[in-house]
Amino acid sequence: MSGAVSSYGTRHLQALFGALGRLVRAPLATLLTLMVIGVALALPAGLALVVNNLRNATGDFSNAVDFSVHFKLGTPIERVQQLAKGARERAGVDSVTVKTADEALDEFKQASGFGDALAALEDNPLPHHLVVRPAKDASGPAEVESLRRYFAAFPEVDIVQLDLDWVRRLHALLDVLRRIMWVVVIVLGAGVLAVIGNTIRLEIQQRRPEIEVTKLVGGSNAFVRRPFLYTGIFYGLGGAMLATLIVLGGLTYLDQAVGDLSAQYGSRFHLTGLGRRGMGYLVGIGAGLGWLGALISTGRHLRAIEPRA
């Protein structure tokens, strides 16, 4: 049994190194194919980075949808704290901070520069209020609107202040970018499949005599297919590695300029790269597309080759 397993493993290794050897023996053709695949994979990967970096540049999205719940003047602070406690237990709420009227006045004094004038007031004209931050997974327009209605329903609440239009616009923008990214992923993924499939088809035609003889002596379709599948995987892997280099090169080239630009706005923003996980995804997707392209191509063309006497 172990001999059979060892033999099976050896056959796979032979097919693997045979496929690798064929690619190495035709360096120019291999490089050209890898470049096409690399560029095709680099475009969606680059677009995904653009989306990620835009999200980072606009800050944590949950900060963007913080909103304030202002209470009617005269509402006891105990009632405000009670409502805050109840709100914290709701799903979709990340945090609720109580700001008393006095704290609000102090902040206003510092922020507005009217400290002396405000000191002349006999009563504090500001109400108690809550600063509510929705959870990250509940910061969409619908969830935020639901939360707004929850607070507005209390009779002690005077006004719930938030700029939902801004949230909607940001969501819409990110949604458009995400959709563009997926369209590019699908179109260029199909392109990679086509490139690998066609390359494998040409190799099958080139090796037709060998395939015929192999089938003649009893080689199954699975046996004949094996080296072509490894070839497809190598193309996908190599293309993905090249795509990683292209993206990292582009990122390095742009990062300094983006850093300089953000510094003009008092920010220390820098572009973030693919990261280990991103690179892993890219290489995995590349290898998967290579395998699939080869599988489709061999499935279509190998059956048509039958030995001739």
Hey, is 97 helix, strand or coil? strand
State the minimum distance, in angstroms, from the CB of residue 212 to other proteins.
8
Among 91, 217, 253, 264, binds other proteins (CB under 8 A): 217
Among 7, 56, 97, 198, binds other proteins (CB under 8 A): 7
Question: Using CB under 8 A, which of 223, 280, 284, 300 touches other proteins?
Answer: 223
Nearer to other proteins, 6 or 82 (CB): 6
Q: Which residue number, 178 or 208, has a Cβ lying nearer to other proteins?
A: 208
Options 106, 158, 212, 255; binder of other proteins; rule CB under 8 A:
212
Query: Rounded CA gap, 86 and 130, in Å?
Result: 12
Question: In the complex, what is the shortest distance from the CB of residue 224 to other proteins, in angstroms, rounded to a whole number?
Answer: 9
Least CB distance to other proteins at residue 215 (A): 7
26 or 216, CB closer to other proteins? 216
> Which residues are 96's β-sheet partners?
132
As measured in angstroms, the least distance from the Cβ of 211 to other proteins is 10
Distance CA 200, CA 236 (A): 12
8 binds other proteins (CB under 8 A): yes
Check if the beta carbon of residue 139 is closer than 8 Å to that of residue 65: yes
Q: Site mask, other proteins, residues 10-29, x = CB under 8 A?
A: xx--x---------------
Determine contact, residues 187/286, Cβ cutoff 8 Å: no
Q: How far apart are CA 43 and CA 248, in angstroms?
A: 12
The yes or no reply on residue 137 touching other proteins (CB under 8 A) is no
- Asked if 143 and 134 count as a contact pair (C-beta separation under 8 A), the reply is yes
Could you give the CA distance from residue 298 to residue 200 in angstroms, rounded to a whole number? 7
Copy the structure tokens of residue 234: 């190598």
Identity of the residue, 22 or 270, whose beta carbon is nearer to other proteins in the bound complex: 22
* d(C-alpha 70, C-alpha 175), whole Å: 32
What would the x/- binding string for other proteins be over residues 190 to 209, using CB under 8 A? -------------------x
Provide the H-helix boundaries in 113-163.
Answer: 115-119, 141-152
Instruction: By CB under 8 A, name the one of 215, 248, 258, 269 that touches other proteins.
Output: 215
Q: Residue 276 corresponds to which tokens in the numbers above? A: 């280990």
- From candidates 28, 153, 304, 309, binder to other proteins by CB under 8 A: 309
| Piece in contact with other proteins (CB under 8 A), picked from 181-189, 197-205, 214-222, 281-289 | 214-222
User: How many residues of this chain bind other proteins (CB under 8 A)?
Assistant: 24
**Residue 4: CB minimum distance to other proteins, A:** 7
129-134/157-161 β-pairing: unpaired
Q: Which residues contact 285 (CB under 8 A, 6 or more apart)?
A: 41, 189, 240
Tokens of 103: 């704290």
Alpha helices in 153-207 (DSSP H): 164-206
Binding residues vs other proteins (CB under 8 A): 3-4, 6-8, 10-11, 14, 209-210, 212-220, 223, 306-309
